[in-house]
Structure 1
Amino acid sequence: MAGKIPRQFIDELLDRTDIVDLIDNRVGLKKAGKDYQACCPFHNEKSPSFTVSRDKQFYHCFGCGANGNAISFMMDYDKLEFVDAIEELAALLNLEVPREQGSNKPERTVEQKRSDYDLMLQTAKFYQHQLKHHKNASAVIDYIKGRGLSGETVKQYMIGYAPSEWESLCHQVGRNQHQRQQLLELKLASEKTPGRQFDFFRDRLMFPIRDKRGRVIAFGGRVMGDSQGPKYLNSPETRIFHKGFELYGLYEAKQSNDKLDNILIVEGYMDVVALAEQNITYAVAALGTATTTEHMQTLFRTTEKVICCYDGDRAGKDAAWRALEHALPFLKDGKSLKFVFLPDGEDPDSLVQKEGKVDFEKRLETADDFSKVLFDKLALNCELTSDAGKAKLLSDALPLISKLPSEFYQESLLEKLARLIGRTTEQLSAKLATPKQLQNIERKFKVTPMRRAIGLLVQHPKLASSIEHLPELAQMSIPGIELLLELQSVCLEHPNYTTAQLLEYFREKPQYQALKKLAIWQHEINEQALTEEFQNTFQFIEDQCLNFRLETLFIKDKTQGLNNEERLECALLMQALKR
């Protein structure tokens, strides 16, 4: 894929990053034997159950089960996406993140990317300066005060003013040809005729949009009073801004709260800052678009509870439904999604100023659970007094319920559905696309010889060279043999791999979660006995494969007969199994 980060760079990044130092700088670790410990940063606990291994470059919490390598820690602790975590680790080491070439479009350098962010920050500061010094400043400040905002909130959210003149920003920031071109590419300026640029935002209250790392990446501009034009004008998409992935106010919410117990989704920038003014510092807004799957993924990586706040009209109900559909795949056990619908004519901005913080938060406490919103919406289109209506409800509801990764939520919704259509929960459970039985099987974890061998190899990659590499065993239909041989092959190809690097190799593969479980398995084998234990386990697996092949030949001999080559193979197999 064009632009993909090379595997070799990810290996190097993990090799050069000491996970103990990385976590110690954020959490504070204490030596405990050959490993390090702390109270887990991912859940509340009084005694430490969070362990970090320098040998494996891997962390694990015995309390909540959180585990992973340096990249996983950055993703979970700093709430970053995979690429952002890579870039953050690379920045700590002063490395430039390379990209695989696959298109004619040249990859931007670190300096070029930094230049984009610097220009956006310059622009934000320009708008802040204009808020104080432009000839319209007093009128704009009166408008801000009239909306109930204090100077402290304005400063926290970097709110500014885009001058009414056509070329103020272009003249101030676009001092040379390169900067003028940059203004166009970052959609801060427009050009209808060659060489004649004008500001994209004019005579608007400006809300800088910051990414998860606090960098200004775009703007939202709001008209004031009776000004002409659309109420909000948002930055178009650029190379550093993708509105479907960003949430206004998320960075500020993280800065204001050590831990975000819940996040409130509202519709506008002014709603976010008005709520912050009332010390409700956990609100975010989508950027001129409906709440997306990526938004929901980001939110549920950041908090346990998401509350969606929408108008009570048809448009608000439709927006709530889209948000619900996008949230379902992320509603794991412990995650919560609720909805608040506001009275007609009210928005969070107006309502919080009327009611104040206490009464507004009481509304949030009585928010509707997502299950009520789901069945209310589905029932609108179904006549539940008829068999046809019940069949339609069943048909519409099951695909949505099957998206839920939580068995508890699935059972709860199936019980409600069963009551509505007059069926039993057991009858409905069998119809799910992801049956409960499969999830039960996945949760059971029995240490078979194959899992033992794979677990030892994941935790001690150097064991790969202690046994012969026999790729021909992959032809035997023994569960897990292909994975074991692939692991061995990767370890032999990369003899200095740590557990962290080996797991990273499999991050995008279906075996990743199983390997993570085996990486934290407590095998309790003495270090001096590891090699012998691994060799003996592999010998058992090899014998399994040979027995399987021998039985296959015996069956063929009885049904079809063996040729000379197969008779010789049969004799050799019997001899090998006697050793």
Structure 2
Amino acid sequence: MSLPPGFLDELRSRLSIGQVVGRKVIWDSRKSNQARGDLWAPCPFHQEKTASFHVDDRKGYYYCFGCHAKGDAISFVRETENLGFMEAVEVLAREAGMQMPARDPRAQEKADRLGRLREAMEAAVRHFRMQLATGAGAEARDYLARRGLDEATIGRFELGFAPDARRGLFEALGGQGFPPEVLIEAGLAARPDDGGAPYDRFRGRIVFPIRDGQGRAIGLGGRAMRTDARAKYLNSPATPLFDKSRSLYNLAPAREAAGKGRPLIVAEGYMDVIALVRAGFEGAVAPLGTAITEEQLDLLWRMADEPLIALDGDRAGLSAAQRLIDLSLPRLKAGKGLRFVLMPPGKDPDDLLREGGAAAMQKLLDGAMPMVQLLWQRETEGHVFDSPERRAALDARLKGHVDRIADPVLRRHYDDALRELRYQMRRASNALPARRRGLPPPPSAPRPSTQRSLLAAGGSGPVPERLAEAAILSALLMHPSLAAEVEAQLESLEWSDPANAAMGAAILAHQDLSSEALRIRLAELLGAEPLERLDSLDHLAVMPFRRRPEDRESARLAIAGALDRLEAEQGHRMELSEAEEDIAGLATETLTWRLRDAAEARDRAVRAMQEDKTDYEIAENGARIDRREREAMPNWASTHPADEAAARQTPEKLGAPAVRISLPRY
């Protein structure tokens, strides 16, 4: 049985040879790089202990450096399962979801005709390249020079020029023996509706050859030189060689670059790809004049786990990105995603590279946005969520998008990420003035009895969090060097009060100063008022590190306890906030467990922070005194001999169990 032309190419493009071979071998995790499709294992064709069997998943081939076995997915199935060629093809076709074609007695004839079409395409590429070097191509050469393309780049991408002549290519290739039917079927020429003589499809255009993953010319793209042309860009029509929904510009070189770890960047047009490659971003491709299709998306994921989508920063580019989100959601899998590079408004990669160079582009690539964030931006940008109805509508839209994800684990992670974004939006909303949120205004002034309380000290955020933040700042002011021990936690801390955040950042920046020098520096940076307000808080005055300024360990314990409480408070509040939404829907046991765990974590943090670990001694008269404070008073023993003697008696000597008393700190 003969297979129709292109069937095996399609089969190989749909399959991952890594998955096919992976059923028979165990990959060597030390030598393999799964992300790059670089896989190694002991050879299944001969006995060995070392991993000399190599699979290049991106190119679709395997090779053993020991026994020299080599081939593709079809040959691997044939050799390992002892099958004939057509049997192996049938096995793989079922796995790829492809229908085996019916017997075609004219298959060889079609294969020969397909080969003739490829020859015509290669002849056309050569013809257009020669035309660019003639006098007729002078204007095109000037245009390319203005776009920054040198001769090496023009040669690398095989750019050419189609003169504005009705039958220039048709007659040139006809003279080389290509009949009109071949030129028309290859998409190089067209026959008018009135049945007249065929004419060239590409005229008055710069020509960009389009090649498949094996480097064969399959189509052409043309940019009009005239500003009044009906279409600025023109691609080859659908032919037996060319299907623009399954092709990408610069596919083969980009696949090779992605295999070496270079980023795979999806730009919008030919010139963007060429500019990116010239700037060193060799893994650049472009769809061919249309939005990215399912087939192109699968092709991209075969080359890289997270392609970078760098579409133009105009309305059309953003719309294309949004459409791609809808296309991608049902096809997402663990480890296969998209990141979006948001270009400046009105700019494309070519513009950005000419103005800012490779560094400007690299900066944007480094800040590529995960797809979940762009989805959130699409659903929230330009909207106001100041009522339960509007927030419920947002939740319904987001739930509809998440439900389209087939992978249950990935669906849960998307749901978690969107919940976090909702929580951040709610926090930002709570930071707005009460009048803008539709809430009654706060009292104009605190009562006299609360003048020295935390509530009257100003600032924003929940009181428990501000209370813990104040403890952290006060302890660090007394022992600045402790900031180095918790620097990572402080940098990632979501401060509830902007004033506290400013003071925390200043302390981190000047942690090498002494306590006195730090206070002077903070007063210069922030003014005296924040320090005075912090010093005046009554709940801090009773804390051990304030009563014993030289006690560095008590300050360290206070900071650790406060950080734990902040984490527990914020986690508890987030769970409660999410519960408000979930309880209106389908409440499950999972919701109850989450709330219980959050409440227990919060209670543990509060108890740990409130517990006073001071060692107290019990005098004969029952009075309690801090052992370290007693020992620090030199005249205490001489002025209180009876109590001193009693204090030196351990509880066991007095016939009583050891006593440690825990007092609330505040």
Assess same fold via TM > 0.5: yes
Q: Distance in 2 between matches of 1:431 and 1:152?
A: 63
Aligned to 1:339: 340
Q: Deviations over 1:80-134 (max 9, x none)?
A: 9xxx9779999xxxx99996338999785322222111111111111111111x3
Aligned to 1:51: 42
Q: Distance in 1 between matches of 2:415 and 2:135?
A: 63
Aligned to 1:376: 377
For residue 209 of structure 1, give the secondary structure of its aligned residue in structure 2. strand
* Aligned residue pair count: 393
**Distance verdict in 2 for CA 1:107–1:341, change over 3 Å:** farther
For residue 341 of structure 1, give the secondary structure of its aligned residue in structure 2. coil
Aligned-pair distance for 1:149?
A: 0.8
Aligned-pair distance for 1:200?
A: 0.2
Aligned to 1:439: none
For residue 171 of structure 1, give the secondary structure of its aligned residue in structure 2. helix
Amino acid at match of 1:262: P
Q: Which has the higher strand share?
A: 1
Q: Structure 1: which 5+ residue stretches go unaligned?
A: 14-18, 24-31, 436-579
Aligned to 1:300: 301
Q: Deviations over 1:385-424 (max 9, x none)?
A: 3333333333322343234466664333212433528534
Aligned-pair distance for 1:52?
A: 3.1
Residue pair 2:372, 2:418 contacting (<8 A) in 1 also:
no
**Distance verdict in 2 for CA 1:425–1:400, change over 3 Å:** farther
Aligned-pair distance for 1:362?
A: 0.7
Aligned to 2:352: 351
Please say if 1:142 is aligned against 2:156.
no
Aligned to 1:210: 211
Aligned-pair distance for 1:210?
A: 0.9
Q: Distance in 2 between matches of 1:360 and 1:259?
A: 20
Amino acid at match of 2:370: D
Q: Structure 2: which 5+ residue stretches go unaligned?
A: 62-70, 78-84, 91-99, 424-576, 591-666
Residue pair 2:251, 2:285 contacting (<8 A) in 1 also:
yes
Residue pair 2:265, 2:285 contacting (<8 A) in 1 also:
yes
Amino acid at match of 2:250: G
Please say if 1:40 is aligned against 2:195.
no
Amino acid at match of 1:335: K
Aligned to 2:418: 417
For residue 390 of structure 1, give the secondary structure of its aligned residue in structure 2. helix
Amino acid at match of 2:59: D
Residue pair 2:263, 2:281 contacting (<8 A) in 1 also:
no
Aligned-pair distance for 1:220?
A: 0.7
Q: What does 1:114-513 correspond to in 2, within 5 Å?
A: 114-132=115-133, 134-175=134-175, 179-192=179-192, 193-194=194-195, 196-224=197-225, 226=227, 228-256=229-257, 258-380=259-381, 384-404=385-405, 409-419=410-420, 420=422, 422-424=577-579, 427=582
Max radius of gyration: which structure?
2
User: What percent of counterpart residues are identical?
Assistant: 27
The structure, 1 or 2, with the larger RCO (C-alpha pairs under 8 Å, 6+ apart) is 1
For residue 346 of structure 2, give the secondary structure of its aligned residue in structure 1. coil
Residue pair 1:337, 1:370 contacting (<8 A) in 2 also:
yes
Q: Distance in 2 between matches of 1:431 and 1:321?
A: 30
**Distance verdict in 2 for CA 1:79–1:331, change over 3 Å:** farther
Amino acid at match of 1:294: E
- Note the aligned Cα RMSD (angstroms): 4.7
Q: Distance in 2 between matches of 1:343 and 1:147?
A: 19
Aligned to 1:513: none
Residue pair 1:165, 1:202 contacting (<8 A) in 2 also:
yes
For residue 217 of structure 1, give the secondary structure of its aligned residue in structure 2. strand
Aligned to 2:650: none
TM-score by length of 1: 0.58
TM-score by length of 2: 0.51
Aligned-pair distance for 1:178?
A: 6.2
Residue pair 1:262, 1:282 contacting (<8 A) in 2 also:
yes
Amino acid at match of 1:77: R
Q: What does 1:535-574 correspond to in 2, within 5 Å?
A: none
For residue 218 of structure 2, give the secondary structure of its aligned residue in structure 1. strand
Aligned-pair distance for 1:206?
A: 0.5
Q: Distance in 2 between matches of 1:295 and 1:385?
A: 41
Amino acid at match of 2:278: E
Q: Distance in 1 between matches of 2:414 and 2:397?
A: 13
Aligned to 1:77: 58
Q: Distance in 1 between matches of 2:105 and 2:580?
A: 55
Residue pair 1:205, 1:223 contacting (<8 A) in 2 also:
yes
**Distance verdict in 2 for CA 1:242–1:85, change over 3 Å:** farther
Residue pair 2:267, 2:309 contacting (<8 A) in 1 also:
yes
Q: Distance in 2 between matches of 1:323 and 1:108?
A: 40
**Distance verdict in 2 for CA 1:103–1:333, change over 3 Å:** same
Aligned-pair distance for 1:215?
A: 1.0
Amino acid at match of 2:252: Y
